[in-house]
């Protein structure tokens, strides 16, 4: 958001993600539910502010892949995801409690991976770059070297689909961009 010129404050939500059962859940609805829960959590403390919440998950053949708990799970996830196309889904919610504003949508991008060798997978896991990342990788860090192509929004794969967010903000007629001083 900073690169796009937005002014904002980061406030960490108080949401126990483990309370949201991922098993048997629709990946799109799951991402949207978590994004809304995060936005509402922060909005309770800032009811007059527009609060943006987001949650990114990976959908591999209809199964939700979240963040790896440890290196063993990171290796398993990496082997799986870099064997076939998968979807990165981000739910985005904007909430302002003072006027009952509540918007929730999602964006989905298909990632076509390059096959990784056993050595590349081991190096990836050893690097620790998988920590706290849905699907155990971040395309903006090193993941792009293992991606053949994507269909959809690159910013969605990075964790916040800016096209969707800007559409939301334009619809609300919100301007939170910094003034340019040339």
Q: List the catalytic residues.
A: 55
Reading the block at residue 172, the tokens are 């609300």
The 3-class secondary structure across the chain, one letter per residue, is CCCCCECCCCCCCCCCHHHCCCCCCCHHHHHHHHHHHHHHHHHCCCCCCCEEEEEEEEEECCEEECECCCHHHHHHHHHHHCCCCEEEEEEEEEEEHHHCEEEEEEEEEEEEECCCCHHHHHHHHHHCCCCCCECCCCCCCCHHHHEEEEECCHHHHHCCCHHHHHHHHHHCCCCCECCCCC
25 — phi, psi (to 5°)?
-85, 150
* Rounded distance between C-alpha atoms, residue 173 and residue 151, angstroms: 29
Give the closest residue to 66 by CA, choosing from 95, 23, 15, 106: 23
């Amino acid at each position: 958001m900073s690169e796009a010129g937005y002014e904002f404050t980061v406030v960490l939500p108080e949401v126990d993600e483990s309370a949201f059962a991922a098993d048997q859940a629709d990946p799109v609805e799951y991402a949207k539910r978590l994004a809304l829960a995060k936005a509402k959590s922060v909005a309770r403390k800032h009811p007059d502010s527009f609060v943006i919440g987001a949650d990114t998950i990976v959908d591999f053949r209809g199964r939700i892949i979240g963040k790896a708990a440890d290196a063993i799970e990171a290796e398993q996830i990496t082997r799986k995801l870099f064997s076939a196309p998968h979807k990165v889904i981000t739910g985005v919610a904007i909430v302002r409690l003072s006027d009952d504003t509540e918007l929730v949508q999602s964006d989905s991008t298909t990632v076509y991976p390059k096959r990784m060798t056993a050595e590349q997978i081991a190096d990836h896991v050893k690097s620790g770059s998988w920590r706290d990342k849905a699907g155990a990788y971040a395309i903006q860090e090193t993941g792009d070297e293992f991606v053949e192509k994507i269909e959809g929004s690159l910013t969605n794969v990075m964790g916040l689909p800016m096209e969707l967010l800007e559409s939301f903000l334009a619809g609300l007629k919100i301007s939170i961009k910094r003034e340019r001083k040339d």
